[in-house]
Structure formats: structure tokens, C-alpha cells
Amino acid sequence: MLKIRLQRIGRKNDPSFRAVLTDSKNSTKSGKFLEVVGTYNPKAGVTVFKSDRIKYWMSKGAKLSDTMHNFMVHEKAIEGKKINALPKKKPTQKKKELKAKK
């Protein structure tokens, strides 16, 4: 399945990302991708996405990652609500509660 997601580029402590179209089985750091569809520089706050190409690939069946979906909703390129892309954390439990469960 094709996926549009961010790929980290740049030096250590200087992150920048490119939005790429890749197979979902490729790892994020493999460097294998079919097309570059945009860039994102968090330090400068610059986002440049080719929304026409992203919409084209979505029509062909490509899925967006959660973060890319949020970027596209923010730019009003697609309709919808933002998705919580952060990992779901478990509530912290005290040691006594853990021992009581065992």
C-alpha cells in the first residue's frame, strides 16, 4: 500500500523533513521513495507541500500518515478533523496498586 509520510533529513540537532510517497513496508529511514511531494522545516516554520500531487496520489489509493493528514487539514487542502498523532499513554500507577493486581 502506498503511503505519504514525513522522512527526516538534515543534520543532528537540525531537523528538517521531506514529505515522500513510499510503500508502507519501507522503513522511514530506508531512503526508498517514489516521489517527493513537499518539505517541512520546523525550525524555520516553513511548510511547502504539493497539494495537487498529494490529492492525485490519494485518488490512486495512497494513504496519509496521521501527521501528514493534520498538515493537510491545517492548510485546508482536505476536509476533516485533525487526528491525535501522539502515542496513547497509559495512566501512571503507584507501586502498591501494581502489587495488589498481582
Q: Compute the distance between CA of residue 56 and CA of residue 41 in angstroms, rounded to an integer.
A: 24
| CATH level 2 (architecture), domain 2-80 | 2-Layer Sandwich (3.30)
Q: What angle do CA 63, 67, 72 make, to 5 degrees?
A: 75
Q: From first to last of the 102 residues of the chain, give the pLDDT tens digit.
A: 999 999 999 899 999 999 999 998 887 777 789 999 999 999 999 999 999 999 999 999 999 999 999 999 999 988 999 988 887 776 666 666 556 665
Residues 6+ apart with CB under 8 A from 34: 2, 20, 21, 22, 23
Does the reported pTM lie above 0.75? yes
Q: What angle do CA 15, 17, 20 make, to 5 degrees?
A: 160
